[in-house]
Amino acid sequence: MSETRTFDVQDVTLRFGGVVSLSHVTLFQKSGEILAVIGPNGAGKTSLFNSLTGVYQPQEGTITFTGANGRATSIIGKKAHRVAALGVARTFQASRMFSALTVFENVKIGAESHRGFGAVGAMLRGPRTRRDERESDQDTLRLLEFVGLRNQANTVSASLSYGDRRRLEIARGLATKPQVLLLDEPAAGTNPAEKIELTDLIRKVRDEMGVSILLIEHDMKLVMSLAERLYVLNFGSVIAEGTPDEIRANPVVIEAYLGSSASETGGR
Ligand SMILES: Nc1ncnc2c1ncn2[C@@H]1O[C@H](COP(=O)(O)OP(=O)(O)O)[C@@H](O)[C@H]1O
Ligand SMILES: [Mg+2]
């Protein structure tokens, strides 16, 4: 059997008026892979994530997602909630958790949106069976254990450290039982010790849950230790692809990215 591609992106172009955010982007992710997309600010990384998740609709090209059932689905033209239902979860560059709710409640809402209630429906819905409720609670606690937040289940999310917030966002993504988890700068704002813990957690998500990981990250040390393969974007175009060693040694990358943004990558 040939390898499955979680995402297959062919010749995708995305424009906003005169601004070209993505220009003829072609790339793929193998099922089970930890793949990273790097590039300077404004390179198009978040635009790519938004295109993969149905938030943006590219004018040209094709994006195909293949889930665990082997069925290939075209993404462009689908709404974000339909893409999510296929098994695509993501975290955002800026945190989107409900900061007034506890850690437990935040993850439970993620789990329930997967069960078809939606985040608002989960809060407004009428009574459910006790069995459903208990299963959902157990799923939530298991996930909190997995990401290392079991002891903080009842902590109000706003009072978490940056590192724990990032764990919570990952748990929320996993609560939808995805095939692939897209992480937009998961280590932003964290300290060096938290970065190492996050690296371990992301690897564990892939190894133990079998979830493919697609990662945008500014911290070069983190991304090079975690990713099995990388694409480099610059001005909306893919300028390089390869293993961490290949990317480090690629003169085009050094010229366009590593050299020009050394201060930026060192500062985070
Ligand atoms: N919703 C939008 N409207 C207009 N321009 C956008 C929008 N989203 C992204 N862009 C533009 O696309 C380019 C790439 O941005 P982005 O994908 O956020 O880059 P990155 O995440 O790599 O920093 C930028 O020029 C940005 O201004
Ligand atoms: Mg971005």
Neighbours of ion ligand 2 (CB under 5 A): 45-46
Q: Ligand 1 mean position to 21 CA, how many Å?
A: 6
Pocket test for ligand 1, best of 46, 50, 231 (most atoms within 8 A of CB): 46
Q: Ligand 2 mean position to 47 CA, how many Å?
A: 7
Q: How far is CA 131 from CA 127, 128, 174, in A?
A: 12, 8, 21
Do residues 203 and 225 lie in contact, with contact meaning Cβ atoms separated by under 8 Å? Answer: no
**Which residue lies with its CA nearest to atom 3 of ligand 1?**
16
**Which residue lies with its CA nearest to atom 4 of ligand 1?**
16
Contacts by residues 147-153 (CB-CB < 8 Å, ≥ 24 positions apart): 147/171, 147/174, 147/201, 148/197, 148/201, 149/103, 152/103, 153/102, 153/103, 153/104
Least confident of 13-17, 37-41, 114-118: 114-118
CA 178 to CA 181: how far, in whole Å? 7
The mean pLDDT of 51-59, rounded to a whole number, is 97
SS (HEC) of 37-67: EECCCCCCHHHHHHHHCCCCCCCEEEEEEEC
Q: Ligand 1 mean position to 201 CA, how many Å?
A: 29
Q: Indicate if the pLDDT at residue 258 is higher than 90.
A: no
> What integer pLDDT is reported at residue 268 of this predicted model?
36
In 3D space, the residue among 55, 24, 25 whose CA is nearest the CA of residue 37 turns out to be: 25
Q: Ligand 2 mean position to 2 CA, how many Å?
A: 33
Residue 154: CATH number of its domain: 3.40.50.300
Q: Indicate if the pLDDT at residue 260 is higher than 60.
A: no
Q: Total domain count for the chain?
A: 1
> What integer pLDDT is reported at residue 130 of this predicted model?
76
Range of the domain at 153: 5-266
Q: Ligand 2 mean position to 49 CA, how many Å?
A: 9
CA 80 to CA 66: how far, in whole Å? 16
Strand, coil or helix: 204: helix
Do residues 26 and 11 lie in contact, with contact meaning Cβ atoms separated by under 8 Å? Answer: yes
**Which residue lies with its CA nearest to atom 7 of ligand 1?**
16
Average pLDDT of every residue of the chain: 88
- Lining residues, ligand 1, CB within 6 Å: 16, 19, 21, 39, 41-47
The alpha carbon of 141 is separated from its chain's Cα centroid by a whole number of angstroms, namely: 22
Give the nearest ligand 1 atom to 48 CA. Answer: 17
Give the nearest ligand 1 atom to 43 CA. Answer: 22
Q: Ligand 1 mean position to 221 CA, how many Å?
A: 25
Please name the residue that has the structure tokens 């009842």. Answer: 154
Phi and psi of 217, rounded to 5°? Answer: -155, 135
Q: Indicate if the pLDDT at residue 264 is higher than 50.
A: no
CA 24 to CA 48: how far, in whole Å? 11
> What integer pLDDT is reported at residue 173 of this predicted model?
93
Do residues 169 and 75 lie in contact, with contact meaning Cβ atoms separated by under 8 Å? Answer: no
